[in-house]
Structure 1
Amino acid sequence: MEFYIVILYLLVILVNLLIILQIINEVKMRRIEGNFLDSVSIIVPIKGEDERLEGNILSLLSQNYPYPYEVIYVVDKGDDVEKVLRKYNVRVVYSDYNCEACSGKIKAQLSGLKYASYNVIVFADSDTWYPKDWLYKLVRPLDKFTATTTFSWPSPSKLSLSNLLRAGFWTLGFESQSLENSRFLWGGSMAFRKSFFNKDVIDELSKEWCDDCTLTRIVKRNNGKIGFLMNCVPLNVYDEKDLVKWSSRQIITILAYSPRGAKAYLVAGTFFTFILVYSIVFLNLVTFTPYILWIVKNVIRGIDYPKNAMIASLMTILAIPYALFLLIYNWNRREVYWRGRKYIVKPLS
């Protein structure tokens, strides 16, 4: 056997072992619990009517939570979505916080904080459906962590090529969560004690574009701990109309807020793309085994949603090289478009 093939096989074996260790860590994360409970204010920024919005609203109103909680939707004045929200037992407030440098989402979150009545703050997304035990499982470990979070599973409303590729791409958000030092908050599901949001935190948020990236930085800078939960994964409900623009926004955000993560994916994505091409060209099952384990890993992550789990897991085969291409293409770009607005995402100093 030629030397380079031996090296390639050894690398494949090493990668397979790392994926197995990742699976073991993530299974353990499904058992994270705690003993903290208190009243909760759920703050949901919204702009326009999302796919299957009313089902998402009902999922937040139907939480099995033993303490009082309120659902606060934050809208822009004149947004027609307010008419939909008024049909339900939610608080509707306007996005009126004064921060010129922040994104529309952060402005809405800071506006919602002004009206929050309770001792725990939870941020949610309007395009996401939440299982009934999500709030309970998210809040309970706050006696062990500064903040808790989870990541959603993709749920395309129809099976178009853009939706399928986005599903595979979306699962890449789980990849850094099994290790505590690389863990990050996801804006559609994160919980804090209200006391976390002191003047310094609010001032820093008010100058930023990315809410969860900034909050992750603040927690880690203050030696706090982030608890990532695998046992209350919600569903991101979508019908993607502009896949390249949407996925480029995710990539550019990572480039600006997590340059180390971007460089790590540049290496990992190149390796996985190479072995994919090699496996196809030479019909080599051994070099394809990391993809098989990757699919297994994703099926386990989405185990509560079997159909969606299988769709997204299989699509990671295409999503990994797609993400690599976008990473290289957007390496020096910092301009993104989100919810009808243009932003310049500045690199961290």
Structure 2
Amino acid sequence: MNLVILVVTFSSILLDIGILLQIYAENKKFFKEPKGGNYHGKISVIIPIRGLDTNLEENVRSILNQDIKPLEIIYVIDPDDPYRETIENILKKYDVKITHTFYNCTLCSGKIRAQLSGLLRSNGNIIVFGDSDTWYPKYWLRELTLPLSKYMATTTFSFASPAKLTLRNLIRAGFWTLGIESQALGGTFLWGGSMAFKRSFFNEDIIKCLSNEWCDDCTLTKIVKERKGKIGFIGNAIPLNVYDEYNLFKWAQRQVLTVKIYSYRGAKAFLVFGLYISFLLVFLILTGIPLLFLPFLLWIIKNLLRGRRLGKKAIFPSLFSIIGIYFAWIVLILSWRKKKVLWRDKVYTIENKQ
């Protein structure tokens, strides 16, 4: 038993070192200074929308209040949305373009149909995709698009901003911090709520490829990598995903299954990490060794530093980031064999892409 405790304690020290190195590298590379770049052009911001989002009007105003003004902001509404009329009445109060999804693809998701519809209606030479349930800081668009002079695509990742401090909202907030973990130290995937491209990127082949997929950011990430392009992760332009979650498990199930489908090795690695971090917690409870608490504390500090530009909005996601690990791990185990996901009131049948 003493040998086991020694091994676990030593492994926790290695984890401490790893987290400290990660904090140092992140703050040196992309959570401290802007990426830079000098790419300028007319920007089209395309926002698919289905359902009545919490904080919708504030989210619209956040895009209108950017310190670099877009050529156009296009909201693409699902014509079958039961809230269509209400959404249109809200959007008509603002200087945005409103269009309905018209692009036809039988295999793609409703979001991709909306994105492609917006793309074909847009006039800018920079294309930015966002989410209707997200609030964007005023510097977001500038810092996302200028680095396109150095990257094929740029992206960031949001912090969660619960509309109410319920337990399910706080667990979701902690869960959501895991998205940044997957960015490693250089931008490894695109996040659909904040993606920027040169318009020339979207040729007929890419549009055709998207037409056969249900995950927009996963597919675009794969295309960029196949083209040997670089993804610029803009860590200091983090927006806020504003929500009030009522079906936490099904929401989380879609997130983890997306990872499993498009990054099978990543999902398997998380199964191993979740098992290890569970053992660590058990040994902390059984032995009370203070040193075993340090990795959990450092994990929280890491997320607080990531969100420091957001001020107090980063506190709850960071504090619940540990619970988010365990919750995501359990959801992944329980959902491993699932073949269907619920997304914006629509059910999609899924299959592995790797």
Report the TM-score range of the alignment, normalised by the length of the smaller protein: over 0.9
The CA distance in 2 between the partners of 1:7 and 1:281, in whole Å, is: 15
Q: Cα distance, 1:274 vs. partner?
A: 1.5
Query: Displaced runs of 4+ in structure 1, greater than 6 A?
Result: none
Do structure 1's residue 224 and structure 2's residue 248 form an aligned pair? Answer: no
The CA distance in 2 between the partners of 1:85 and 1:184, in whole Å, is: 31
Q: Which residue of 2 aligns with 1:302?
A: 307
AA aligned to 1:150 is: T
CA-based RMSD of the aligned residues comes to: 1.3
AA aligned to 1:64 is: D
Q: Verify the 8 A CA contact 2:105 2:113 in the aligned structure 1.
A: yes
Q: Verify the 8 A CA contact 2:45 2:70 in the aligned structure 1.
A: no
What SS does structure 2 have at the residue aligned with 1:77? coil
AA aligned to 1:327 is: L
Q: Which residue of 1 aligns with 2:2?
A: 2
AA aligned to 2:235 is: M
Q: Verify the 8 A CA contact 2:340 2:350 in the aligned structure 1.
A: yes
Q: Cα distance, 1:275 vs. partner?
A: 0.8
- Within-5 A mapping of 1:173-322: 173-180=179-186, 183-322=188-327
Write out per-residue CA displacement over residues 240-282 of structure 1, whole angstroms, 9 at most, x where no aligned residue: 0110010011011111111011011111111112112221232
What SS does structure 1 have at the residue aligned with 2:296? helix
Q: Which residue of 2 aligns with 1:112?
A: 118
Matched pairs, number: 347
What SS does structure 1 have at the residue aligned with 2:177? helix
Q: Verify the 8 A CA contact 1:273 1:320 in the aligned structure 2.
A: no
Write out per-residue CA displacement over residues 26-65 of structure 1, whole angstroms, 9 at most, x where no aligned residue: 2121322211121100000001210010000000011001
Do structure 1's residue 44 and structure 2's residue 50 form an aligned pair? Answer: no
Within the candidate set 133, 141, 145, 1:135 is matched to 141
Q: Cα distance, 1:68 vs. partner?
A: 4.6
Q: Cα distance, 1:234 vs. partner?
A: 0.3
What SS does structure 1 have at the residue aligned with 2:308? coil
The CA distance in 2 between the partners of 1:242 and 1:338, in whole Å, is: 11
AA aligned to 1:26 is: E
Q: Which residue of 2 aligns with 1:24?
A: 24
Q: Verify the 8 A CA contact 1:56 1:126 in the aligned structure 2.
A: yes
Write out per-residue CA displacement over residues 118-167 of structure 1, whole angstroms, 9 at most, x where no aligned residue: 10000000000000000000001111111000001110011001101000
The CA distance in 2 between the partners of 1:184 and 1:210, in whole Å, is: 12
- Residue ranges of structure 1 left out of the alignment (5+ in a row): none
The CA distance in 2 between the partners of 1:274 and 1:37, in whole Å, is: 50
Do structure 1's residue 62 and structure 2's residue 65 form an aligned pair? Answer: yes
* Range with bigger deviation, 119-128 or 326-335: 326-335
The CA distance in 2 between the partners of 1:246 and 1:10, in whole Å, is: 36
* Range with bigger deviation, 284-293 or 231-240: 284-293
Aligned sequence identity (%)? 51
AA aligned to 2:297 is: I
Do structure 1's residue 34 and structure 2's residue 22 form an aligned pair? Answer: no
Cα distance 1:214–1:64, how it changes in 2: closer, same or farther (>3 A)? same
Q: Verify the 8 A CA contact 1:169 1:323 in the aligned structure 2.
A: yes
Q: Which residue of 1 aligns with 2:76?
A: 74
Q: Verify the 8 A CA contact 1:256 1:334 in the aligned structure 2.
A: no
AA aligned to 1:324 is: W
What SS does structure 2 have at the residue aligned with 1:337? strand
What's the TM-score once normalised by structure 1's chain length?
0.97
Q: Which residue of 1 aligns with 2:165?
A: 159
The CA distance in 2 between the partners of 1:199 and 1:5, in whole Å, is: 58
What SS does structure 2 have at the residue aligned with 1:54? helix
- Within-5 A mapping of 1:315-330: 315-330=320-335
Q: Verify the 8 A CA contact 2:26 2:185 in the aligned structure 1.
A: no
The CA distance in 2 between the partners of 1:224 and 1:6, in whole Å, is: 45
